């Protein structure tokens, strides 16, 4: 029996590592194995900023990958947590009755929704703002070079 609350929390806390995918679909899930790649690239971008500074062009592309990975997994947590018990059990527990307790919503499920919404939205907006800020700063620097 796949528990909806556990899946939501795994998507929120361990989603960028693919933990929720392995829980729901097993270790043969390709997306579960691919999820850590953009996460690792994003962390590499953060390390590049720490070592080289904000002027590193590659970090402008790498850091948003980390943010988008976290935001997508937070969205997954919200989608899992908001599924009706009937839909959850039909999809992930087909052998169980439609009203099985594994698909029920409780306060821990609501907590996963609230935290996923808060953190996911914050990370997504921060990633977009970082990317756009660095892009426009780069455009201004290039325009200044041209005008001199």
Average pLDDT over residues 7-19: 95
DSSP letter at 83?
Answer: S
Q: How confident is the model at residue 80 (pLDDT cuts 50, 70, 90)?
A: very high
Domain regions of the chain by residue span: 4-147
Report the alpha-carbon distance of residue 71 to residue 12 in Å, rounded.
Answer: 9
What is the reported pLDDT for 60? 83
Report the alpha-carbon distance of residue 65 to residue 36 in Å, rounded.
Answer: 11
Average pLDDT over residues 50-76: 89
Does 113 have pLDDT greater than 90? yes
Identify whether the C-beta of residue 35 lies closer than 8 Å to the C-beta of residue 21.
yes
Report the alpha-carbon distance of residue 49 to residue 44 in Å, rounded.
Answer: 9
Mean pLDDT of the residues in the chain? 91
What is the reported pLDDT for 135? 86
Does 77 have pLDDT greater than 90? yes
Does 66 have pLDDT greater than 90? yes
Q: What is the pLDDT of residues 44-61, one digit of tens each?
A: 999 998 999 877 878 888
What is the reported pLDDT for 58? 85
Identify whether the C-beta of residue 65 lies closer than 8 Å to the C-beta of residue 45.
yes
| DSSP per-residue codes, the chain | ---HHHHHHHHHHHGGGTHHHHHHH-TT-HHHHHTHHHHHHHHHHHHHHHHH-TT-HHHHHHHHHHHHHHHHHHHHHHHHHHS-HHHHHHHH-TTS-TT-GGG---HHHHHHHHHHHHHHHHHHHHHHHHHHHHHHHHHHHHHHHHH-
What is the reported pLDDT for 148? 79
Does 62 have pLDDT greater than 80? yes
Q: Global pTM? A: 0.86
Average pLDDT over residues 124-138: 88
Distances (CA, A) of 54 to 3, 47, 132: 42, 11, 13
What is the reported pLDDT for 96? 81
């Amino acid at each position: 029996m796949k528990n909806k609350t556990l899946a939501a929390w795994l998507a929120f806390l361990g989603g960028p590592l693919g933990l929720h995918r392995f829980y729901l679909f097993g270790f043969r899930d390709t997306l579960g194995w691919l999820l850590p790649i953009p996460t690792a690239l994003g962390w590499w971008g953060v390390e590049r900023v720490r070592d080289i500074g904000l002027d590193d062009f590659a970090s402008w592309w790498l850091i948003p990958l980390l943010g988008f990975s976290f935001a997508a997994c937070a969205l997954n947590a919200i989608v899992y947590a908001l599924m009706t018990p009937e839909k959850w059990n039909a999809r992930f527990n087909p052998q169980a009755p439609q009203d099985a307790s594994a698909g029920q919503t409780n306060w821990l499920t609501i907590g996963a929704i609230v935290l996923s919404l808060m953190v996911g939205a914050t990370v997504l907006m921060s990633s977009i703002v970082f990317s756009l800020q660095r892009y426009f700063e780069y455009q201004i620097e290039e325009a200044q070079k041209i005008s001199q």
